[in-house]
Amino acid sequence: MDEKYIWPLVGVALGWALSLFSSLLKDRAERRQKLGVLVSKLLHVHTQILTLQQVTEIFKDHAENWQEYEPMRKRLTQRHFLEPESHVVSLRDAIDDISGLYPVEARSLHNLVDMLLKNKNTSLVAASKSKDLYIRMLSMYEVGLCGAEKMLQTCVRRYARRHGFYTYVNLLWELHRSKSVKYKKNVEYVEKFSAEAWDIFNKLQRESSSPQPTASSPEYGEHGAPDGRNANKP
């Protein structure tokens, strides 16, 4: 075959190969980016669960009874677990982004998020009036939370491994930090913070439950001012 026909064909083949290689690199980069975002979101939720478990255990040591403990546990969970709400939205978006790659796993992740939201909204205030009933209900609640934590850890490991070796090693180190000296110092800080938070919660609880003085109360004077003074006078 004449060379004038060969070189154009070689050029076309090389162009096609380079285009294919570039497309593969782009797809791989986009896939790693989606996996990286998902790993970051899941790891954040996993850390929140560990913190919630630790703080609520410390709260148990400060509560005098279950009826005092449950409102505090509920308030802590509502205010700090899976908050802000925009984080849950971004987590679902990250799951949707990988649904084209792993459709079945994405469905399982959405189910896991639904389970965590139900756990967040669980209230055991009515059950706290009965010690035996509350202990059984709280045990079921804590077992469900522990199971969700294990599932999250498994998912984070899986997607970190798919993201890359370096990410997987970093994740293993992050999970291993729970046994390090630095983590123990963090535990001491959390314990101190939990004790202070418990005192604040108790104060707010007392203030919200205590009756507020009205104009007809004995401590108000004839004109509705404290100590019997005229409200219009200094």
pLDDT in tens, 121-158: 988 988 888 989 999 999 999 999 999 999 999 999 99
Q: Looking at residues 170-190, what average pLDDT do you find? A: 64
Q: Classify the C-alpha dihedral 11-17-22-27 as positive or negative.
A: positive
Instruction: Report the predicted TM-score, pTM, of the whole model to 2 decimal places.
Output: 0.70
Residue 234 has pLDDT above 90, yes or no: no
Which amino acid belongs to residue 128? S
Q: Looking at residues 158-167, what average pLDDT do you find? A: 94
Band of the pLDDT at 187, cuts 50, 70, 90?
Answer: low
Alpha-carbon distance of 155 to 151, in angstroms, equals: 6
Residue 159 has pLDDT above 70, yes or no: yes
Band of the pLDDT at 190, cuts 50, 70, 90?
Answer: low
Q: Looking at residues 207-216, what average pLDDT do you find? A: 55
* DSSP-assigned states of every residue in 156-198: HHHHHHHH-HHHHHHHHHHHHGGGSHHHHHHHHHHHHHHHHHH
Q: If we measure between CA atoms, which residue out of 119, 121, 173 comes closest to residue 142? A: 119
Ranges of each domain in the chain: 30-194
